[in-house]
Chain A
Amino acid sequence: MAVCSAYTTQSLHSTCSISTPAKTHLGFHQKQVVFYRRSSKRGGSGSSSGPCVITCSAGDSQTVVIGLAADSGCGKSTFMRRLTSVFGGAAEPPKGGNPDSNTLISDMTTVICLDDYHSLDRTGRKEKGVTALDPRANDFDLMYEQVKAIKSGVAVDKPIYNHVTGLLDPPELIKPPKILVIEGLHPMFDERVRDLLDFSIYLDISNEVKFAWKIQRDMAERGHSLESIRASIEARKPDFDAYIDPQKKYADAVIEVLPTQLIPDDNEGKVLRVRLIMKEGVKHFSPVYLFDEGSTISWIPCGRKLTCSYPGIKFHYGPDTYFGNEVSILEMDGQFDRLDELIYVESHLSNISTKFYGEVTQQMLKHADFPGSNNGTGLFQTIVGLKIRDLYEQITSSKTAAPLEATKA
């Protein structure tokens, strides 16, 4: 929503000009439009007859930008659905637009898929022998320009990459939302885009788990076999290791998914060990901890108060370094079978930014049919969603506080 106020300027009654966006003393970007009105020769006894200047400011230029990086088939869409649900409402594709649009819009959030910034379509990539993971197939300049524009409150015409046809479709209009989430393969690859992000997340899935998930996803398709799935993963691995994997050192939070250590020689990939690696010192983000911040603790909640079925649940928390950064790692191995296990665990975690007791459990139950709802992936995705809500509220309250201070000074 924009706030417009009209001023009359009697001095400029002979020229008509449209000034470019300028920053006022309030710090908001404004678009100023000057209307020239022919002044009547009769009367004019003191009342204004010059042109009016109407200035409009985009009042919500407080768009918070979140980046989410992961390889294809790694749970980005599940994470997106959980995240938008934390803010309330369901995210849906834009009504009345291209049915193959990748964008999701809810009341508070808009999710943009970075595949829309492919510079080469499917045939173009085939000709050049390049994968979608390669930076040569993506237009980072356009990505930076548009994310910057949306962040400063200007609507953009974003291209659409149609995954069904493999072509670039005509653009769609994206209006600046309160929270913009950019998800895809390269949100943190380009340095300029990285600087625009208020918070960034990387989903790091280990090779064994990735293989198991892709089997689950693709075995229902005709034509796929174990060999074709394995060949597909192997062929993409060099590009993935070269271009996508290095992004994890820039992420503020990494959700790492590994095979479980509770079951020896498990290769089904049903029970998972999930690690939430949280960078220390990130503005507006305080890491989740268990019992005592900064200390190391191993915790098995199953015992006298709580009975768990095989293989049980095991937690670990402690400080560490990750690619040269100070981090805190919260780790969960095992799965939840019952509601009371989940609420018991939630009551012992600290700094989870819930608004009421049991909010994490409630969110997990709301989406009990999503994959990962009974293990650390769902739990940590929900917790990260709540941390993002907390981050958003901190940013918006600090931004509304700043102009008040400016007017006082």
Chain B
Amino acid sequence: MATLFTLNLVTPRAIASLPDSTKGSPIRVPYLNQPWKRILSPLESRRMQVRAAPDRLSEKVEQSIKEAQEACSDDPASGECVAAWDEVEELSAAASHARDRLKDNDPLENYCQDNPETDECKTYDN
């Protein structure tokens, strides 16, 4: 499970950096013989970055937990400790909402909400 996560994190970033490096330089086609290794267009790289956003939130949650544990090791009753754990709670809530939103994103449902009269979306109730 951990390796799967790291793989997801590494790949989009590596590919996303490619368009930046080719900006401004003459058009190169290094992968003519290997079309599956084509350079991702900026639009596609942006899309991959969007998919990694919940991972970004997950990283924030992880980091905030570490920070809270550090803040509380000195003085468990201090304002910093309490505020740090409150931040953990807020980020966990945001992460769980983001996860729910991802779960609800059915492309067919989204299309049918806007176009209920199309053939794919018509419902016959009786």
Contacts and interface: CB of A to CB of B under 8 A. Distances in A.
A239 B82 contact: yes
Contact of A132 (B65, B86, B97): B86
Given A72-B89, A164-B57, A235 B81 contact: yes
A236 B85 contact: yes
B99 interface: yes
Q: How large is the interface on B (under 10, 10 to 19, 20 to 34, 35 or more residues)?
A: 20 to 34
B80 A126 contact: yes
A217 interface: yes
B26 interface: no
Interface string B95-121: 111110000000000000000000000
Interface string B46-82: 0000000000011001110110110010001011111
B88 interface: yes
B86 A133 contact: yes
Q: Chain B's interface: helix, strand, loop or mixed, by majority? A: helix
B92 A217 contact: yes
B36 interface: no
Contacts of A235: 68, 72, 76, 81-82, 84-86
B39 interface: no
B66 to A, nearest CB: 8
Given A221-B95, A223-B61, A228 B80 contact: no
Contact of B82 (A73, A122, A129, A222): A129
Interface residues of A, number: 30
B72 A231 contact: yes
A262 interface: no
Given A129-B80, A235-B81, A223 B62 contact: yes
A174 B32 CA distance: 53
A126 B83 contact: yes
Nearest to A238: B82
Nearest to A234: B85
A220 interface: yes
Contacts of B65: 223-224, 228
Contacts of B89: 72-73, 232, 236
A131 B82 contact: yes
Interface string A102-143: 000000000000000000001001101111110000000000
Contacts of A228: 65, 68-69, 88
Interface in A208-236: 214, 217-218, 220-224, 228, 231-232, 235-236
A131 B58 contact: no
A100 B69 CA distance: 28
Contact of B83 (A77, A131, A217, A222): A131
A192 interface: no
B82 to A, nearest CB: 5
B80 A132 contact: no
A72 B83 contact: no
A23 interface: no
Nearest to B64: A223
B40 interface: no
A47 to B, nearest CB: 50
Nearest to A72: B93
B124 interface: no
Nearest to A162: B94
A163 B93 contact: yes
A217 B61 contact: no
Nearest to A232: B85
A236 B87 contact: no
Nearest to B2: A222
B58 A221 contact: yes
Contacts of A77: 97
B1 to A, nearest CB: 9
Contacts of A223: 58, 61-63, 65-66
Given A224-B65, A231-B85, A163 B79 contact: no
A163 B90 contact: yes
Contact of B68 (A166, A220, A231, A239): A231
A231 to B, nearest CB: 6
B5 interface: yes
Given A72-B89, A163-B90, A235-B72, A218 B96 contact: yes
A126 B70 CA distance: 14
Contacts of B66: 223
Contacts of A214: 92
B78 A125 contact: no
20 contacts: A73-B89, A73-B92, A73-B96, A128-B79, A129-B82, A131-B83, A132-B86, A133-B86, A163-B94, A166-B90, A218-B92, A221-B96, A231-B72, A231-B85, A232-B89, A235-B72, A235-B76, A235-B81, A235-B82, A235-B86
Interface of B: 5, 57-58, 61-63, 65-66, 68-69, 72, 76, 78-99
